[in-house]
Amino acid sequence: MADSMKRYPRTKDTYTIYLKNVITNPNIEIGDYTMYHDFLNDPTTFEKNNVLYHYPINHDKLIIGKFCSIACGAKFLFNSANHAKTSLSTYPFPLFFEEWELDKNNVTESWDNKGNIIIGNDVWIGFEAVILAGVTIGDGAIIGTRAVVTKDVPPYTIVGGVPAKPIRKRFDNATISELLKIKWWDWSEEKIAQNIQAIKTGNIDLLSMEKP
């Protein structure tokens, strides 16, 4: 039976990890079996190398669902990377409160706060893709190689480019609706194992026959 508590799910493969088991930041939440592969850096340093400008003062979160596949170099760019566009200047004066004798409690006024990054379940994020703050990516979506995602992505939609735009849906609307209803990723490990063949071959009718 599969073991979601492993750090390295593949024997002798130290490039691929179950991401949940190496995360220490309480503002990063990762679902079971979500994997990250990195052939350039140690994948266990994901928090440092891939989750950027994620400062505790902002209290923003990275939330990633179950069974996601994250390719090497994917980046999650948080709010503190922004600069305030409502100001007459993009220079972050509040950040340098000591220099300008400002209230140090107003540091977060240096940037526009767009909210958390939320990734659904069974999402594939391609090589060196960048996800910006405030973006929600729906279940089953695919993010293309080096795409820069600035807006929400609907479930089971393939996006690519800079900025990322929809390319096509993975399935017809009826199939997408049924998949979102089934939520196979929330099944028990035993039930998923029993239905892997149907999942692999796209047999939605067989999955739909399964009892909740």
Task: Give domain status of residue 5, yes or no.
Answer: no
* 163 & 181 share domain: no
Domain range for 118 is 16-170
Identify the CA nearest to 28 among candidates 124, 116, 128. Answer: 116
* 134 & 205 share domain: no
- Residue 194: the pLDDT is 92
* 165 & 184 share domain: no
- Residues of the chain with pLDDT > 90, as a percent, come to 75
| pLDDT tens per residue, range 146-182 | 999 999 999 999 999 999 999 999 999 999 999 999 9
* 126 & 67 share domain: yes
> Residue 1: which pLDDT band, with cuts at 50, 70 and 90?
low
The strands making up 51-52's β-sheet, listed across from edge to edge, are 51-52, 75-77, 130-132, 148-149
> Residue 211: which pLDDT band, with cuts at 50, 70 and 90?
low
User: Can 83 be counted among the known catalytic residues?
Assistant: yes
Whole-model pTM: value is 0.92
Task: Give domain status of residue 7, yes or no.
Answer: no
Q: Which one from 37, 54, 59, 83 is the annotated catalytic residue?
A: 83
Separation between Cα atoms, residue 64 and residue 207, nearest integer Å: 24
